Structure 1
Amino acid sequence: MPACTQPPPNPNPRANVPLQTVPVDLPRYMGRWYIIANIPYFAERGYVGSYAQWSLRPDGQIDDRFAGHKKRFDAPLTEYHFVDKVVSGSGNGEWRVRLFWPIYVTQLTVYVDPDYRYTILGYPDKSLGWIFSRSPDVSDEVYRSLLVRMEAMGYDTSRVRRVPQLPSQLGKPGFVSPG
């Protein structure tokens, strides 16, 4: 499939309702977040054991490191480094992510649970989305509840793919095949 192919139209009746960011306590939000599920962009496809590591920089920006193993847990760890900037007035819920100069994308924090164990990030047009957890494994009940949240926000949750975080998850129903 060519990289520029557009996804099918979003059938969710709330597809055109704009995403709303939530306030984020940045110091509490920093650290490692495992990618439990996503509607991936092309560079994320096929990764297992993937996570984001966020850390505040002295200049107020955020070091954003993506890491994961391509297709197999015994494959070398691939890492990408981005620099993010919080959008003023967003309550720390909207970030501009510099993929490479001069290309920036908008990342929206649309949910954080009160204990900062789970978060949902979105992209303004809902073509991309992520479910993150502080732990590499979440129960099916928690996962379903986070999908329900995404559905209520207008996401086409049929496009969300669960990312294997542990070798024991490979091949299990509901997890994306890294092949």
Structure 2
Amino acid sequence: MKHLLLPLLLAGCTTAVVAPLLPSYRDADVAIASKADFDPARYAGLWHEVARFPVPFQNGCAGATAEYTAPTGGVIGVRNTCLDADGAPVRSITGTAEVTGPGRLAVNLNGVPLTAPLWVLWTDAGYRTAVLGQPDGRAGWILNRDPVIPADRLRAALTVLDFNGYDTGQLTYSASR
């Protein structure tokens, strides 16, 4: 696949057609919850990938960024960029994310014929760190406004993933962390 399907991502490839081919990193017996007080306007801006669960569409990416525009009519613009080990852009993909509920997005990436759910599981109070996941557990990310995340917010993000049934031992960390 030529395009990076990253955090908002990358979600397009994990629908019913492709999902059986990808592993789940989440215990389906554990309840999962999205952020009830999610504010899409505060979420807008540039995010740096800190960690992700391995997904084929990010092969060759040492890290990634995700940029979201302020919502217009419940739709957020998305640009995901794959970065090499030096932090230089390798490839990117654009699309939209429709707000479908509190902390819940339906992601459509240009050139990808599928829509995928992406849930915002948590952000810190200042919207500096975010945890995203697909409810089926086939993808998940820790994002931060800066390339390097403070240890306390990384611990909090890992706790959120663990609470939602994700196996944090399978995370891949970005080069800049």
Pairs within 5 Å for 1:1-179: 5-7=21-23, 15-22=28-35, 23-56=37-70, 58-70=72-84, 72-73=85-86, 76-87=89-100, 90-91=101-102, 93-99=103-109, 100=111, 102-165=113-176
Conservation of the 8 A alpha-carbon contact between 1:18 and 1:124: no
Q: Report the AA paired with residue 111 of structure 1.
A: W
Q: TM-score, normalised by structure 1?
A: 0.76
Larger Rg: 1
Give aligned-pair identity as a percent: 26
Could you list the runs of 5+ residues in structure 2 that have no partner in the other structure? 1-17
Conservation of the 8 A alpha-carbon contact between 2:82 and 2:90: yes
1:136 aligned counterpart, secondary structure: coil
In structure 2, distance between residues paired with 1:164 and 1:40: 14
Compared CA separation, residues 135 and 9, structure 1 to 2 (3 A): closer
Compared CA separation, residues 108 and 76, structure 1 to 2 (3 A): closer
Compared CA separation, residues 8 and 31, structure 1 to 2 (3 A): closer
In the TM superposition, residue 74 of structure 1 has moved relative to its aligned partner by 6.6
In structure 2, distance between residues paired with 1:74 and 1:155: 27
Report the RMSD for the aligned CA atoms in angstroms.
2.4
Q: TM-score, normalised by structure 2?
A: 0.77
Conservation of the 8 A alpha-carbon contact between 1:49 and 1:73: no
Conservation of the 8 A alpha-carbon contact between 2:63 and 2:87: no
Could you list the runs of 5+ residues in structure 1 that have no partner in the other structure? 170-179
Compared CA separation, residues 8 and 150, structure 1 to 2 (3 A): closer
In the TM superposition, residue 138 of structure 1 has moved relative to its aligned partner by 1.3
